Structure 1
Amino acid sequence: MKSMGDEIRESLLSSGKEEEVVELKARVVDESKKIWKVALPGILARVAAFGCIVVTQSFVGHISELDLAGYALVQTLIIRFVNGILIGMSSATETLCGQAFGAGQLHMMGIYLQRSWIVDFITLTVLLPIFIFATSLFRLLGEKDNIAQSAGYTSLWFIPFAYNFVFSLTNQMYLQAQQKNMVVAWLAIFQFAIHIPLSWLFVNQLNWGVAGAMSALSISSWFVVIGEFVYIFGGWCPHSWKGFTTAAFKDIWPVVKLSVSSGVMVCLELWYNSILVLLAGYMKNAEVAISAFSICLNINGWEFNVTLGFLGAACVRVANELGRGDAKAVKFSIKVLLSISISIGLVFWIICLIFGSKIGYLFSDEQEVAAGVSDLSVLLATSVLLNSIYPVLSGVAVGAGLQSSVAVINLCCYYLIGVPVGAVLGYVAQLQVKGIWIGMICGVVTQTLALCFMAWRTDWDLEVMKAKERLRRWYLKSSDGSNQSSDLA
């Protein structure tokens, strides 16, 4: 029989374990609230914005199969190429603003934002020849002449749309870092709401064709940018926006270097899909192959924008806690982020498996294209599931300023494994588009494993010290001395 002392000891141990469980649950709930406060607006904004691109593709697809193939080439190659560079360059804003917010250096956030505008605007202007000479570029890459001409015409209409990235991406990351990005979500929802009737008016009623679809896309995208400017300049960010300043031109080279490493990291990821679409263009029946593959990638991309909300949340949470100097909080946040994201990924995986055979008809009336989409539905579901893991780990890297390490991982996994495997399976094994996509999945799996290993091996106490040094080195005093951390609550 147990003695009274043993019973008391067991009772105390049991009570202690219950308290630990209750405390853990409270921490998880508290961390989940912080994550969703950043992730939900980010998801709404990204899904709505990407939805406009998908809606435009749907309208173009019902104009003609040739126009759909031309739009698909520009959207999946040129726009992904340019958007990848600008998202990557803008993620430097996310790193710097997130760490400045965590450290209470709020006035520095407006300076970082202006530096990013300068860097991104110059970068996009340098890239303009890609849009202007798109027809010649696609011909050089071996695409059919009629598809190249259609893509060249569409690419010119994408220029005004592309310039919205310079401001919309950086503004969103600036607002997101201080947990004020709900305004971006509302603006993006309104963007989507006005984009559909505008597209219907310009394409179906006025019969403007591709020009009408692209005009609607540009108008709706700049609606968001103007709304963000009104919010930032109108006094809703009093502690972080102190007005335009020449300080934005000071210490701009370190920002450029961080932006370039961020750009390379994201570009290697986004260009990966673009290269696979290009490979699909050399398949038999190229118009159908490109259209079916790009539809699947856009569906994958739409779901990917959900996980990009968690990428943003990961970046903000990691950057904020590093700025505060709490390494343990960083590690706990990563675990909660992955748990939530993977759970959502499983839901989308099941949906893709159930409705995969019907999705293609949303984007094209061509039975052959819809059948091609249906044939790729299992691979689409697999990619959707993987989307729930690696973007979160990439966000962790961005929050810590580890973009250069991820760039090396992306280069090795995507271009030394994924693309060669896809090319061999697609052309040598004659699996066509399926082979290309299997290669893509191989690259993503190896990248995910590498990012997991990197996150596990990272010394977060050391990253705290690096963040403090970065903030100290780039710190500038506020002109009115109002850089208190009153917004942190």
Structure 2
Amino acid sequence: MESNIDSPLLTSKHIPENPHFAGEVEDIPPITGINDFFIQFGVESKKLWYLAGPAIFTTVCQYSLGAITQTFAGHVGTLDLAAFSIENSVIAGFSLGIMVGMGSALETLCGQAYGAGQIDMLGIYMQRSWIILFVTGLIMMFLYIFATPFLLLIGQTEAISHAAGKMALWMIPQLFAYAANYPIAKFLQAQSKIMVMSYISGAALVFHTLFSWLLMLKLGWGLWGGAVVLNLSWWFMVVAQMIYILSGTCGQAWSGFSWAAFSNLWGFVKLSFASAIMLCLETWYFMALILFAGYLKNAEIAVDALSICTNILGWAVMIAIGFNAAISVRVSNELGAAHPRTAKFSVVVVVVFSFIVGVLLAVLLGIFRHQYPAIFSSNLEVQQAVYALTPLLAACLIINNIQPALSGVAIGAGWQAAIAYINIACYYVFGVPLGLTLGFALNWGVKGIWIGMLTGTVVQTIILVWICVRTNWDKEASMAEERIRKWSGQQGVEVEQ
């Protein structure tokens, strides 16, 4: 059955011949019964997992690079461990959030352009994103240069601040690797070329582990060795992916460097900035949870317990980020191909799988609730605090698997600006004040802070579900067409981002 969108841009001859990614030549027919539902569910599940599986593996590998360096830093010395932890979580973590956010604008544009068959625009979009992210890197570099006074300002000890500040200077090359890597990742994701990213990330992790041990411990280079290997690992991924692109495997998507990348930069900046705000507000929200816990009476125990919980949550979120990447590509591809029903159904499928995975993780946590705290701490008081927080952590595992998937829907559809406002309202106008009230005014402690802030996430998730249910997906497909016209330089009505 043909889509009811009548567009000269979005005809079947433009649809890329890729059975896993780009939409079918026709939109899926209306689902009229349970049998139709399960047939289409099976078809969409294969497409989703074709993307999500390698995306999860890639994300875990890249997340593990810093974790491996941090592990070896703990064998170098306590100050070295503290210095790297602070640099990796505060300085690099802050920068990474901004870079990933700025780069996510490319998911919307590349995904929709690919679905519409505007393949030749993907390389130009990637180059525009490079320009914006490298300029962002130049601005963020000042945080690295002045890391020591910044850390002293926020209350870190002098010894840790100076050591972390020195580490930050050594890690400046990683900042620009972020700027190069994330546009490449979105460019490849939009074309379903995710397996090559997983191969490269897996190889990088193996070499990173080997050379980190060699330089940091065997040769005694310490943190300097760790910085060298971490920088090289990130640039290895960038160079390997660029070799893959330049080899001609991307066809029309990469036709070489073009001056067209410098056109319409301001509009691209606005969409990138909206994307960065949307994702950073989510990233910083749970960073604030640990910050607030530091002001409690028994702060050391509270912070240790929360750190263990957020560490577990961090690994689980890697799975959610895989779903986030997969659904953003599915939605953007199908809207670009004028397949609104397929786009809508893909949202249903990803929410079902995200919920199932979240429940499975929560059940595993419940089964091993008496054992897992001892893995992370030998302090009985900390173990008891973690055990007390386990129900909240289990709830977080479910909610924080669904919420990133819905954020991926927002990115695929191009709703970044609207979601940024929703995040501000749910997280910082509602969640934070409620958490502070429960934690401090009502003396519920760390549990109260977390309940309040988790409530903010629940409210945001409910709103995102409501938006997805109420969305006119035919209109979204039409808006995707106009967005493609706008960014490809064709005449058309400008879509408000």
TM-score range, shorter chain: 0.7 to 0.9
Q: Which residue of 1 aligns with 2:118?
A: 105
Q: What is the alpha-carbon distance in structure 2 between the residues aligned to residue 151 and residue 127 of structure 1? A: 16
Cα offsets for 1:243-293 (capped at 9, x unmatched): 111110011111111111111100111111222233344456766655553
TM-score normalised to structure 1 length: 0.86
Does the 8 Å contact 2:323/2:354 carry over to 1? yes
1:393 positional shift: 0.8
Q: Which residue of 2 aligns with 1:330?
A: 343
Q: What code does the residue aligned with 1:90 have?
A: G
Residue 34 of structure 1 is aligned with which of 20, 39, 47? 47
Q: Which residue of 2 aligns with 1:54?
A: 67
Q: What code does the residue aligned with 1:423 have?
A: L
Note the 1:265-344 alignment, pairs <5 A: 265-283=278-296, 290=303, 292-344=305-357
RMSD of equivalent CA atoms? 2.6
1:187 maps to 2:200: yes
1:77 maps to 2:90: yes
Cα offsets for 1:179-226 (capped at 9, x unmatched): 111100111111222222222223332333333333332222222111
Cα offsets for 1:449-477 (capped at 9, x unmatched): 11111212222122111111111122259
- CA distance change for structure 1 residues 260 and 362 in 2, over 3 Å: closer, same or farther? same
Q: What code does the residue aligned with 1:42 have?
A: A
Q: Which residue of 1 aligns with 2:270?
A: 257
Which moves more between the two structures, 422-431 or 197-206?
A: 422-431
1:30 positional shift: 1.1
Q: Which residue of 2 aligns with 1:3?
A: none
Does the 8 Å contact 2:423/2:460 carry over to 1? yes
1:152 positional shift: 2.6
Q: Which residue of 2 aligns with 1:125?
A: 138
What secondary structure, in the 3-state scheme, does the structure 1 residue paired with 2:256 have?
Answer: coil
Q: What is the alpha-carbon distance in structure 2 between the residues aligned to residue 447 and residue 26 of structure 1? A: 31
Q: Which residue of 1 aligns with 2:221?
A: 208
Which moves more between the two structures, 138-147 or 345-354?
A: 138-147
- CA distance change for structure 1 residues 363 and 107 in 2, over 3 Å: closer, same or farther? farther
What secondary structure, in the 3-state scheme, does the structure 2 residue paired with 1:137 have?
Answer: helix
Residue 475 of structure 2 is aligned with which of 452, 457, 462? 462
- CA distance change for structure 1 residues 254 and 271 in 2, over 3 Å: closer, same or farther? same
Q: Which residue of 2 aligns with 1:471?
A: 484
Does the 8 Å contact 1:300/1:380 carry over to 2? yes
Which moves more between the two structures, 83-92 or 129-138?
A: 129-138
Q: What is the alpha-carbon distance in structure 1 between the residues aligned to residue 87 and residue 72 of structure 2? A: 15
Cα offsets for 1:110-130 (capped at 9, x unmatched): 100100011011011101111
- Identical pairs, percent: 42
1:236 positional shift: 0.9
Q: What code does the residue aligned with 2:168 have?
A: S
Residue 402 of structure 2 is aligned with which of 377, 383, 389? 389
- CA distance change for structure 1 residues 339 and 323 in 2, over 3 Å: closer, same or farther? same
- CA distance change for structure 1 residues 432 and 205 in 2, over 3 Å: closer, same or farther? farther
Q: What is the alpha-carbon distance in structure 2 between the residues aligned to residue 369 and residue 62 of structure 1? A: 23
Q: What code does the residue aligned with 2:137 have?
A: L
1:302 positional shift: 1.9
Which moves more between the two structures, 315-324 or 378-387?
A: 378-387
- CA distance change for structure 1 residues 19 and 103 in 2, over 3 Å: closer, same or farther? closer
What secondary structure, in the 3-state scheme, does the structure 1 residue paired with 2:118 have?
Answer: coil
- CA distance change for structure 1 residues 221 and 154 in 2, over 3 Å: closer, same or farther? same
Q: What is the alpha-carbon distance in structure 2 between the residues aligned to residue 291 and residue 163 of structure 1? A: 32
Q: Which residue of 1 aligns with 2:186?
A: 173
TM-score normalised to structure 2 length: 0.85
Does the 8 Å contact 1:349/1:381 carry over to 2? yes
Residue 137 of structure 1 is aligned with which of 143, 147, 150? 150
1:79 positional shift: 2.6
Q: What is the alpha-carbon distance in structure 1 between the residues aligned to residue 40 and residue 345 of structure 2? A: 9
Q: What is the alpha-carbon distance in structure 1 between the residues aligned to residue 145 and residue 321 of structure 2? A: 30
- CA distance change for structure 1 residues 204 and 178 in 2, over 3 Å: closer, same or farther? same
Q: What is the alpha-carbon distance in structure 2 between the residues aligned to residue 19 and residue 430 of structure 1? A: 53
What secondary structure, in the 3-state scheme, does the structure 2 residue paired with 1:243 have?
Answer: coil
Q: What code does the residue aligned with 1:77 have?
A: V
1:425 positional shift: 3.8
Q: What is the alpha-carbon distance in structure 1 between the residues aligned to residue 476 and residue 289 of structure 2? A: 36
Which moves more between the two structures, 264-273 or 366-375?
A: 366-375
Q: Which residue of 1 aligns with 2:495?
A: none
1:133 positional shift: 1.6
Q: What code does the residue aligned with 1:240 have?
A: A
Does the 8 Å contact 2:76/2:217 carry over to 1? no
1:21 positional shift: 4.0
- CA distance change for structure 1 residues 228 and 105 in 2, over 3 Å: closer, same or farther? same
What secondary structure, in the 3-state scheme, does the structure 2 residue paired with 1:471 have?
Answer: helix
Cα offsets for 1:17-57 (capped at 9, x unmatched): x9944433221111111111211111110011112222233
1:344 positional shift: 1.2
Q: What is the alpha-carbon distance in structure 2 between the residues aligned to residue 255 and residue 42 of structure 1? A: 25
Residue 158 of structure 1 is aligned with which of 171, 187, 191? 171
What secondary structure, in the 3-state scheme, does the structure 2 residue paired with 1:270 have?
Answer: helix
How many matched pairs? 460
> Structure 2: where are the runs of 5+ without partners?
1-30, 491-497
Residue 89 of structure 1 is aligned with which of 98, 102, 112? 102
Q: Which residue of 2 aligns with 1:116?
A: 129
1:421 positional shift: 2.9
Residue 418 of structure 2 is aligned with which of 405, 410, 416? 405
Which moves more between the two structures, 127-136 or 60-69?
A: 60-69
